[in-house]
Structure 1
Amino acid sequence: MSDIRALLAGRELELGDGAYAERAVPPPSPLEETLRDWLSRLPALPSKALQRFLADVNGREAAVRMLDDDGLRRALRQAAQGMQRQGFADAALAEAFALIREGSRRTLGMRHHDVQLMAGRTLLGGRIAEMATGEGKTLAATLAACTAAAAGAAVHVVTVNDYLAARDAEHNRVLFDFFGFSVGIVEQDMPLDERRRRYGCDITYVSNKELTFDYLKDRIALGSTLRAHQLLRAMEPGRGASPAILRGLHVAIVDEADSVLIDEARTPLIISETLPDDLDTAVYHQAVAMARTLEAGRHFARGRDRDVWLTDQGHAAVAEAAAVHGGIWHSALWRRELMQKALSALHGFELDQHYIVVENKVQIVDEFTGRVMPDRTWERGLHQMIEAKENCEITGQRRTLSQITYQRFFGRYLLLCGMTGTAKEIEPELKRVYDLSVTRIPTHKPSRRRRLADRLLASSDARWQEVARRAVELAGAGRAVLVGTRSVEASELLSRLLDAQGVAHATLNARQDQGEAEAVAQAGGSGRITVATNMAGRGTDIKLSDEVEAAGGLHVILTEFHESARVDRQLFGRAARQGDPGSVEAIVCLEDELFVRYAPWLSRGLKPLWLWSARWLPRLFRALVWYAQSRAERINRRVRLDTVKRDRKWQQALGFVGRDKV
């Protein structure tokens, strides 16, 4: 543990009193959070330190190339010894990076570009590196991973799903093997002993959900049954195996950091057990049946965030309809609770948008990534109401055994850093919650992406007809086309339109998430049309064929603006990677959820203007998009900060009653 302190010399660090090395994270004061937020909004001053660092690394390259393989390995061990005394100082990092770059050239056939060296230094400085799509984040991460592992830290490379964890680990394994680092890949449904072994490796690739749940399992298993000093003694050599799965929260390198640390941080991660439901399953079906008879505006009112309230007429109608059932329906409190949940299930959550049904089970779809979350359920009876709505088997209620927020979990790492293509917009929140700053890394080559004018259609049907026409037109000219949709339903609607025209295409959504990366990797062929929800493409490059590059590159069509402008940028970033040609455009309509939900009066006002004059529409439309997305971001940010506040109160309550703080 003392070696870890030395490794992170120069950083404020207080170790916690838990079972293994992790950071103690006392909640910052409101003044400190506000100050962090304010400081993050100041313009970044140009730094010459990175340029000096690059010059130092490049100046060592000729000498490093003269070393044989064993010489490279010995030199990295010597550099690591220096880091164990002085931390990640620039001189030691420059030596390590020069050695790792040469090792990569010999084993992977890839020499790190200067921008990747800059990203690696940014990571080990405990920051977020913002790198444009296609700039080689996976390779850049090897610099930080190898350096930290050589210095003795447990390195967790955190990805958004099991496929990417396995793909990136296997891709870089030959480099890790060259330097003698053991590599572990943790995947879903892996036995406990095997998980423990793989976390014991020098470098472990794992998805954010698997990692966090394994940490919770440790907290449950260890809990109050074994105090920290006893466990640390048990973990000493020769004293037998540790009961812990992890060996410490030393260094986390988070890929797609905005998705993991921000978008997925709206709700706590919970380990729970299924209990017999006190309510008869018939109650849920009765509630949904009664809710279907109620009229919006007359019997109930809807809020912006899926909240539903019964009106006086609604209460009376429900009381009358429930009289025939008896039992729990005699209670006015239960009637209100059940009907609000049933109405929310009917009118706030849509099939193939917020969830899908697989093998007669309701599975939640993450609204930001589009990926299925099979192990998650909605709370307090909502999940059961949706199961009744879809005539699925009603599962039991869940009892929480342990929970933690991403904000609290990742804050416990001794060194937290990450990479993403879109972080500057959320830097204030990253700084406020995680104390993470963002460094924007320049592109290796100038961008050749062309942003075509946004196009606004009057109706949803007109939009999909135009998207299909445009995709076929561009594919016919030899281009590759990627069409991004917000939901499974939308992707399948467009797919049916293309099928009706006899147009060959690939469709990617939450129903086919197992093969998403492979399919996106093939999306750069001549005349190829790929329709994908926003889940597709993250972490996977679209490589262009020679014919497509000559024809103008990949063309990306956005069919609906997202609540976060970052997600739009991520989709557009698929085109024109690393100096390739490419173009992007948005074809949307005023009936889209973003406008209806966050700017209803503005969207209604634009309809007559659309019919009146198209000349002024682009400026008004850009203002509408900015207003709606800004409002959505403010609301979502408030939800995440409320999650943090509730989590802190929950911790305080556990401490007050004397329970172990998980």
Structure 2
Amino acid sequence: MGLLEKIFGTKHERDIKKIRPLVEKISLLEREYDKLTNLEIIEVARDLREKVRKQGKVEEDDLIKGATLVREAAKRTLGMRHFDVQVIGGIVLFQGKIAEMKTGEGKTLVATIPLFVESLTGNNVQLVTVNDYLARRDAEWMGPIYLFLGATVGVINPNERSYVVDWIDLQKVEYAIRNDVRAWPKGDFTDDILPEDRINKEAVECFKVKLVNATKKDAYRCDITYGTNNEFGFDYLRDNMVYSLEDKVQRGHYYAIVDEVDSILIDEARTPLIISGPASESTEMYIMADNIARKLVPAKVDEKNKPIPGTGDFVINEKEKNAYLTEEGMKKVEEITGIKGLFNAVDSKSLMLIHCINQALRAHYLFKRDVDYSVVSGEVIIIDEFTGRYMYGRRWSDGLHQAIEAKERVPIKQEFRTLATITFQNYFRMYKKLAGMTGTAETEAEEFWKIYHLDVVVIPTHKPVKRIDADDKIYATEKEKFEAVIREVKELHKKGVPVLIGTISVEKSEILSKMLSKERIPHNVLNAKNHEKEAKIIAEAGKKFAVTVATNMAGRGVDIKLGEGVRELGGLHVIGTERHESRRIDNQLRGRAGRQGDPGFTRFYVSFEDELLRLFGSDRLKRMMNFLKWEYGQEIEHPWLTSAIENAQKRVERYNFEIRRYLLEYDNVLNEQRNTIYSLRDRILAKKDLDGLIKKIISDYLFDLEDYYKQEGKYFGLDAIIQVINSTFLFDVSEEFLKEQLKDVSNDEQRNDKIAEILYKGIKSRMAQGLPEEVFYEGVKVLLLNIIDMKWVEHLYKIDELREGISLRSYGERNPLVEFKLDAYEAFHETMKEIRKELCRILPRLRIMEQRGAESGILSLDKISERHDEVGQFGARNPFASVREQREVETIRAVKRPGPNDPCWCGSGKKYKKCHMESDKLKDMESSGVMYVNRK
């Protein structure tokens, strides 16, 4: 400790010192509230809720009242009183910080203070746990506190079943409230656990709660919602894939407490949440496209690589590794398929066929067997262009790999596409206020601050820690180390001392289990697979003669309470069989022993064959390893060696932190783009100024075309604008009309805005034709969402591909991160252009009609036939090439989708949400006949 710390105290001591006056005020107010009846406490809570909702925020006085109410409710319903240090922990969490509290200090109870106080605002507040069992257990366990104070509690589950917490017997609750029945004696302010025989069992029985089945939306409607980090994240992604506001389940990201915050925000930070689905294209389409490609002939090109008319069906661009059809090729494909107007179609099935044909041409003419790929045992394996090695498990994206599989006549594997993705780092940074709890956070304080702006405050223990943390024992080999562990366990087991053996992997757990069985020592093995079962086993691990082998995370969140007579034996004996890369994980294992002032003992057994020392040990440590001549089974125990191992851990922690921070830089790029898309979706879902949005899209599309013209060295004047209006928007306009409309404009922006206004007015008139506005806007909403979702999925594909290959840029002495940001920005810019292009292509070709019949509310985007002199081949290489033909505009029919709880349309008898709801959402744009929407 430095001189300044001796004078002013450590940072944590200063933090606690600032909070103590609040705790004193809460304790004083508790003496007043203790005199109130149950009914009066409930009324105080109701008044406080009304006050906070009116003012829209929680002030310090509200925090003091709210914390006192929670303490009082816990006493009366559960017979538990928040210790002063637990109140300190609750205030730290309310402040949006991380509270480091040792194992057994009652983090579950601590969280009730900030959760209740923040819920007073009317926002949904959340408690995030590492597994479903803990979410259910904690919500049910703490439920009586919240319900007594008038707050509602829900639990979200990964499957369809979620829960709300409710009283088991309302009559008993009313009786207890009316007769002022309390679990904790009135006038008792003991800052300790109340002995069992002093708790009023009648009150505990009256205030019992249960979990009642509910929808996920019901669980989120509650004031307080418990759930896992995975499920909260997936619900956010799913909410941004819905087609109706009513289908969203979450209601904002206001405040969350992350339990085991180090595990979720650090250990799992690099693991993204991904919702994926099979790619829409079928294997038959690839085979069909391959057969077509085999019948096409390459065209001859001039010196500018332009196709010479009449010489062939497609052009190959080897420089860009691309292929595109000529006009002759398009006609030939239409003849082969028998699909007239294929290249003018707007349905995604036709577009996908065109895409597959292009990929088939690339597969045949640009990708060579035994150069770009090889066929091994019926599989297409990519060959690394730099090393020449086979890249097993890697596949080309965007259907190219399937096209090559079709070319080689090997089984075609279905592709899975990323539909939505987010990392925990970016998900939890969305919360207006975030807090966390764990037994081990101080070692990662720098990362918590730099990534999440979360300060770590170490909360004092309720009772002094009596645990002994011994120096490591070090052996030459792993075999000697394990033999020493078994000898130690055997000696302890004879005395009845409970032993917990921690391992870093399932494999090591199984090795030790076999060795224990050989010595006939009964034991349990926990590998973090069945959380509920393991919680029961770990809770018994403190009893006499118990031997438990556990991997790092097994049974986390459950206290090990000492059995009868174990304190006299020195408490729980924890043996670590290997140092983890992170000191934090080792501290978690140590924290299993010595809870709430209990005795305990911990020691790590280490060998020079352990991965940590082998890979990250210092040169000095490695020289010592080589210098020492150990006899078999000899051990070394020295504080310097323990310190050297800790330094190795610090090196690994720093290395891993830099990796996580670097990866976050990459994900931040996608995060900004995701926020843009999701905000756009929310605006469309709410039908917020759809007229203004579409006019803006049309105006921006005109700017896109102007850029295209400039790149081609052409002028985007009146002639070009008229051609676009005629061919893309299907309106015949004269030069005189356009000049008259644009006579007052003074710049390109005003010009494009004016044209967009004219076009949209005409499109809306043609589409709606006297329909109620809600019908028109519902159809437009679904169309916009379909286009955005389709293009966003394609964009995620591009980003995945870009991320995979970006590291190669470093060979060219370029910064991969800078290159990724530039390329990702350009890709997103192109995606937004594609969204605008698709809308402007499809919108003018639709007419919305309300279909009246047995089922009201069915929307039909009906088929129309129109003749136009010039129709643009949108999607062809030149978007302004024109043809003269009778044009049929594609049908897209919008039919009301069943409600989530209605019977599925397929006749299975299942609820729609459990049958075809998700797949229908993905297929909305894949069928030329049906698009499902809800009329609101």
- Normalization by structure 2: what TM-score? 0.52
TM-fit CA distance, 1:437: 0.8
**2:225 equivalent to 1:204:** yes
Identify which of 16, 26, 29 aligns with 1:60: 29
**2:590 equivalent to 1:560:** no
1:624-650 Cα offsets, whole Å, 9 max, x none, are 312321221122112211221111222
Match of 2:242, SS state, is: helix
* Bigger mean CA deviation after superposition, 197-206 or 568-577: 197-206
**2:663 equivalent to 1:643:** yes
Mapped contact 2:87–2:113 kept (Cα < 8 A)? yes
TM-fit CA distance, 1:581: 0.6
1:252-287 Cα offsets, whole Å, 9 max, x none, are 0110011111111013211111349999xxxxxxxx
Identify which of 480, 501, 504 aligns with 1:462: 480
TM-fit CA distance, 1:621: 2.1
Aligned twin of 2:149: 179
Amino acid at match of 2:488: R
Amino acid at match of 2:584: R
Q: Measure the CA separation in 2 of the matches of 1:327 and 1:106.
A: 67
Q: For residues 202 and 324 of structure 1, do their structure 2 counterparts lie closer, same or farther at Cα, with a shift above 3 Å needed?
A: closer
Q: Measure the CA separation in 2 of the matches of 1:494 and 1:139.
A: 36
Structure 2 counterparts to residues 238-317 of structure 1, below 5 A = 242-275=246-279
TM-fit CA distance, 1:616: 8.2
Identify which of 125, 132, 149 aligns with 2:119: 149
**2:105 equivalent to 1:87:** no
**2:510 equivalent to 1:492:** yes
Q: Measure the CA separation in 2 of the matches of 1:103 and 1:327.
A: 65
**2:238 equivalent to 1:220:** no
Structure 2 counterparts to residues 432-511 of structure 1, below 5 A = 432-511=450-529
Match of 1:138, SS state, is: helix
TM-fit CA distance, 1:79: 2.6
**2:39 equivalent to 1:70:** yes
Q: For residues 178 and 531 of structure 1, do their structure 2 counterparts lie closer, same or farther at Cα, with a shift above 3 Å needed?
A: same
Mapped contact 1:131–1:440 kept (Cα < 8 A)? yes
Q: For residues 515 and 45 of structure 1, do their structure 2 counterparts lie closer, same or farther at Cα, with a shift above 3 Å needed?
A: closer
Mapped contact 1:610–1:617 kept (Cα < 8 A)? no
TM-fit CA distance, 1:397: 4.6
Match of 1:106, SS state, is: helix
Match of 2:257, SS state, is: strand
Equivalent residue pairs, number: 514
1:82-129 Cα offsets, whole Å, 9 max, x none, are 434273332221111111111100111100000110111111111111
1:434-456 Cα offsets, whole Å, 9 max, x none, are 11111111000000010122101
Aligned twin of 2:829: 656
TM-fit CA distance, 1:410: 0.7
Match of 1:547, SS state, is: coil
Q: Measure the CA separation in 1 of the matches of 2:133 and 2:530.
A: 13
Q: Measure the CA separation in 2 of the matches of 1:157 and 1:121.
A: 15
Identify which of 508, 518, 538 aligns with 2:536: 518
Q: For residues 467 and 160 of structure 1, do their structure 2 counterparts lie closer, same or farther at Cα, with a shift above 3 Å needed?
A: same
Which ranges in structure 2 are unaligned for 5 or more consecutive residues?
Answer: 1-9, 163-213, 284-369, 399-411, 674-824, 836-936
1:561-614 Cα offsets, whole Å, 9 max, x none, are 111100000110010001001010011111111122223855643323443699
Mapped contact 1:491–1:531 kept (Cα < 8 A)? yes
Aligned twin of 2:438: 420
Whichever of the two has the greater Rg, that structure is 2
Mapped contact 1:268–1:643 kept (Cα < 8 A)? no
* Bigger mean CA deviation after superposition, 645-654 or 160-169: 645-654
Q: Measure the CA separation in 2 of the matches of 1:336 and 1:69.
A: 77
Match of 2:457, SS state, is: strand
Q: Measure the CA separation in 2 of the matches of 1:323 and 1:253.
A: 52
**2:18 equivalent to 1:49:** yes
Q: Measure the CA separation in 2 of the matches of 1:618 and 1:274.
A: 57
Q: Measure the CA separation in 2 of the matches of 1:159 and 1:556.
A: 25
Mapped contact 1:449–1:576 kept (Cα < 8 A)? yes
Q: Measure the CA separation in 2 of the matches of 1:627 and 1:646.
A: 29
TM-fit CA distance, 1:618: 2.2
Mapped contact 1:113–1:444 kept (Cα < 8 A)? yes
Match of 2:241, SS state, is: helix
* Bigger mean CA deviation after superposition, 102-111 or 429-438: 429-438
Q: Measure the CA separation in 1 of the matches of 2:668 and 2:20.
A: 41
Q: For residues 448 and 277 of structure 1, do their structure 2 counterparts lie closer, same or farther at Cα, with a shift above 3 Å needed?
A: farther
Match of 1:560, SS state, is: coil
Q: For residues 626 and 277 of structure 1, do their structure 2 counterparts lie closer, same or farther at Cα, with a shift above 3 Å needed?
A: farther
Aligned twin of 1:333: 385
TM-fit CA distance, 1:395: 8.7
Q: Measure the CA separation in 2 of the matches of 1:64 and 1:168.
A: 26
Q: Percent of pairs identical after alignment?
A: 39
Q: Measure the CA separation in 2 of the matches of 1:584 and 1:277.
A: 58
RMSD: 3.0
1:354-379 Cα offsets, whole Å, 9 max, x none, are xxxxxxxxxxxxxxxxxxxxxxxxx9
Aligned twin of 1:126: 96
Mapped contact 2:474–2:606 kept (Cα < 8 A)? yes
- Normalization by structure 1: what TM-score? 0.72
Aligned twin of 1:17: none
Amino acid at match of 1:546: E
Mapped contact 2:45–2:150 kept (Cα < 8 A)? no
Aligned twin of 1:629: 649
* Bigger mean CA deviation after superposition, 401-410 or 485-494: 401-410
Structure 2 counterparts to residues 607-618 of structure 1, below 5 A = 607-611=625-629, 618=638
1:190-240 Cα offsets, whole Å, 9 max, x none, are 259811121111111100001101101011225xxx7xxxx5xxxxxxxxx
Mapped contact 1:474–1:481 kept (Cα < 8 A)? yes
